[in-house]
Every structure is written in structure tokens, then in C-alpha cells.
Amino acid sequence: MGALTSPRKVVVLGSTGSIGLSTLSLFEESGAPVQILALTAGRNVERLIEQARRWKPSLAVIEDESRLADLRAGLAGTGVEAAAGADAVRDAAAMGADWVMSAIVGAAGLAPTVAAARTGAVIALANKESLVCAGPALLAIAKAAGGSVIPVDSEHSAIFQVLQSECAHRVSRLILTASGGPFRTWDKAAMARATPEQAIAHPNWSMGAKISVDSATMMNKGLEMIEASYLFATPEDRVDVVIHPQSVIHSLVEYVDGSTLAQLGPPDMRAPIACAFAWPDRLPWPAPRLDLAAYGQLTFESPDVERFPAIGIAREALRLGGGAPAAMNAANEVAVAAFLDRRIGFLDIAGAVAGTLERMNSLGDLSVAESDAVETAMLIDGSARRIAAEVVAQKRQRA
């Protein structure tokens, strides 16, 4: 589609976050021809104003309506229109861009991502939670509209790059690499006392708070297993995880003949974003290069499913199917927020997620009709949040 010659119309959802910043940094560093239609943020109005003044989109949207007056004041005289609220974020997603970066955190990204998918845009998908909640429906909507979903999550970008479509049926295993997070070598007693500050200090990647905690519990890898299963139509028992603390090999695809292909690179999210921007072309930019000799060695180990139960919980949710992945995701969002708020301990996060799933499963709340999967996923998300809040409150009483 002439990605690198004619200007592409772009919307960045979640522009003030870690992935949003990387996206704008890549545009800056590559000089890629882009016309930004809209930038959207949750609450960080100061950064949104700064970005809108620099990039001159037609529209800047803040989800938190109480900050609209500040946004208007900050954009006075710039010609950039200001809007607020969840509906305005969704409308921005559907403005008719060629390429939409989906980088809102959490299930809050689902409705805008679906709205963008309905327009037939290329969706650069960082917001893994929307795939976990309603992956098959989202992919079907994008396909029906003539668009596509290109993964930005580094592991899925790696698989996307080495998965040859003509022999997709010859894949025997997808192998996701995981850094192991900040608590890879900690014992359980130390993990039980871990603080939000310790959980957020990721060894290799600088990311938003929620995904950093997910990396520490390894629920991030659980969400990514579900994401991979949906994106690449691969059943749960053919998605594996290996710990690779250097985060140089971003993931691997094993074929039935025993050949395994991997994608490598320094840990920098601008690389998978560049891939999603230019695909099937390649974007020239001054990317950090991989110096294997400087690493000396790359190491690997199996995940410890006892200290990191989230991987097993995600496998179970994927096997249960129906609304289980959406419920798991919602419970995890509630539990991570409670941990960041110091209301529950680190190990309580996985406990609260498992407790919520168990309760919903026993009530029969996880079996869902496929009729309107996105709508249903949102309903499941809502009830899982209510139950998870109760489970979290019980854990807090016990603490």
C-alpha cells in the first residue's frame, strides 16, 4: 500500500504511555511520512498537550472528562480539536486512519480497537488484553472489514515474522520467550513481601506499571499464551514458554521437521512497532543493532510454575474457553490495581485471579454464547470485576 512513500494517516490510541511514546519516537527517528489524525490518552493531559503541540493532529482526546477544560486551554490557538470521554476515544479510533496503534492498557482498549477494526484499518496491536477478551471476534471483524491485525507484542511480532503462511499447517509449537521478570530468582517468602516498586523495576524493558506487574507475576506470559493461541490459531498444548533472561530471542516457531526459526534483536519496542508500521516492507531507521559478542551468552531455563502459578491459570482459562480468558483478564486488572494500591500482597494477585475464575466457573458464568462475542466479553469483564473486588476484599481482611 505504498507504506513508506505516501503519507499514511495514523491514529495513536494511548499515545502518552510507554508504547505510545515509543511509537512517536519511531516516527521522529525514522522520519516516516505520517499524518496524525488523532492522539488519545487516559488522564495524562500535560503530556497529551505537549504531543499534540508537536504533532498537530486534527484531534486530541482525553478519556477522563474532568480534564477536558485543561486540554482545551492547553491547545488554544493550535487548531487541534479537543474532546473527552470513552465514546470520543472510540470515535477517534474510527476516524478513517490507514494505521491505528492500539496501545491503551487493559480491557479499556477493547471497544476502541474493535471500532478501528470495523474501519478496515491496519491495526498495530499492543493492547493484548483486547485479544484475550475477544480475540476470535476481533480478528473476524478486522478480516471482514478488509483490514488486518499486526501484533506489536515483541513475542508475537517475532512469531509473525518467522511464521511462513504457506506452511502454517506445518507448525508443531510456538515457543514464547519470557525474561522471567524481576523476581525470577527470588524465593516465595521474599516474593510474598515484594513491594510495587520492586515489581515495577523490570530488568530489560521500561513499560507501563500494569504490564510491569504482569511481568513480575508472569501473568504477562499467560496473557501472551492466549494472545498467541488466538492470533496464530494454535491450541493451548502447542504454545510453550521458555525463560530467556536476556530478552534477545523474542520467540520461536518449531516446524514438524524439527527446524526452529527465531527472531532476534535488542530489547526495544520500536523494533516491533517499525515492523507493524511497514509490513511487508521494512522501515529504515537508526535502530539499535544486535551485538551478540557483547552479550557473550544467551541462557534459557524452564518456568517455575509453582512460584509463578499465573501461567497455569492462563492455560486453564484457555482450555475452558468461552468467557474464561476475559474473566481472567478482568480479575487480573482488579488484583494488580489492588496490589499497586498496597491493598493486597504480591502473591495474592494470582490467588485472586484463580479465586475469581473458580467462583465464576462454579456459578456457570463462564459459558457464553458466540452471538455477539465482543458484547458478551464486555459483560463477562464487568461481572468478573465485581467478583474480583469481593475476592480482593476477602484477601485484605485476612492480611
Of 113 and 119, the one with the shorter C-beta distance to ligand NAD is 113
Rounded CA gap, 357 and 222, in Å? 14
Rounded to the nearest whole angstrom, what is the least distance from the CB of residue 162 to Mg ion in the complex? 16
Rounded CA gap, 229 and 233, in Å? 5
Strands 8-13 and 34-41: parallel
The three grid cell numbers given for residue 352, joined into one nine-digit string = 485472586
Of 42 and 355, the one with the shorter C-beta distance to ligand NAD is 42
Rounded to the nearest whole angstrom, what is the least distance from the CB of residue 168 to Mg ion in the complex? 21
- In the DSSP assignment, the letter for residue 139 is H
Stretch that binds Mg ion, among 85-93, 116-124, 147-155, 357-365 (CB under 5 A): 147-155
Phi, psi of 357 (to 5 degrees): -60, -45
Rounded CA gap, 204 and 249, in Å? 13
100-to-7, 92, 141 alpha-carbon distances in Å: 14, 10, 15
Residue number of the CB closest to ligand NAD reads: 17
Which of Mg ion, ligand NAD, none binds 16 (CB below 5-8 Å, type-dependent)?
Answer: ligand NAD
Q: Write out the residues near ligand NAD by the rule CB under 6 A.
A: 14-20, 41-44, 63, 89, 103-105, 108, 126-129, 153, 205, 207-208, 210-211, 269
Burial class (CB within 10 angstroms; exposed 0-12, middle 13-18, buried 19+) of 64: middle
Give 383's Cβ-side CA count (13 Å radius): 16
Which of ligand NAD, Mg ion, none binds 128 (CB below 5-8 Å, type-dependent)?
Answer: ligand NAD
Is 129 a binding residue for Mg ion by CB under 5 A? The answer is: no
Nearest C-alpha neighbor of 360 from the set 306, 324, 313: 324
Which of ligand NAD, Mg ion, none binds 188 (CB below 5-8 Å, type-dependent)?
Answer: none
Of 153 and 348, the one with the shorter C-beta distance to Mg ion is 153
Which of ligand NAD, Mg ion, none binds 268 (CB below 5-8 Å, type-dependent)?
Answer: none
Nearest C-alpha neighbor of 380 from the set 355, 352, 357, 362: 357
Residue number of the CB closest to Mg ion reads: 153
Which of Mg ion, ligand NAD, none binds 63 (CB below 5-8 Å, type-dependent)?
Answer: ligand NAD
Q: What is the 3-state secondary structure (H, E, C) of 33-55?
A: CEEEEEEEECCCHHHHHHHHHHH
Of 222 and 365, the one with the shorter C-beta distance to ligand NAD is 222
Contacting Mg ion within 31-50 (CB under 5 A): none
Contacting Mg ion within 148-167 (CB under 5 A): 153-155
Handedness of CA 284, 120, 269, 71 (dihedral sign): positive
Q: What angle do CA 277, 282, 285 make, to 5 degrees?
A: 85
Of 154 and 212, the one with the shorter C-beta distance to Mg ion is 154
Rounded to the nearest whole angstrom, what is the least distance from the CB of residue 123 to ligand NAD in the complex? 13
Rounded CA gap, 142 and 118, in Å? 6
Of 334 and 361, the one with the shorter C-beta distance to ligand NAD is 334
Rounded to the nearest whole angstrom, what is the least distance from the CB of residue 19 to ligand NAD in the complex? 4
Which of Mg ion, ligand NAD, none binds 89 (CB below 5-8 Å, type-dependent)?
Answer: ligand NAD
The three grid cell numbers given for residue 119, joined into one nine-digit string = 474501519
The three grid cell numbers given for residue 60, joined into one nine-digit string = 486530541
Which of ligand NAD, Mg ion, none binds 39 (CB below 5-8 Å, type-dependent)?
Answer: none
Rounded to the nearest whole angstrom, what is the least distance from the CB of residue 375 to Mg ion in the complex? 28
Contacts with Mg ion by CB under 5 A lie at 153-155
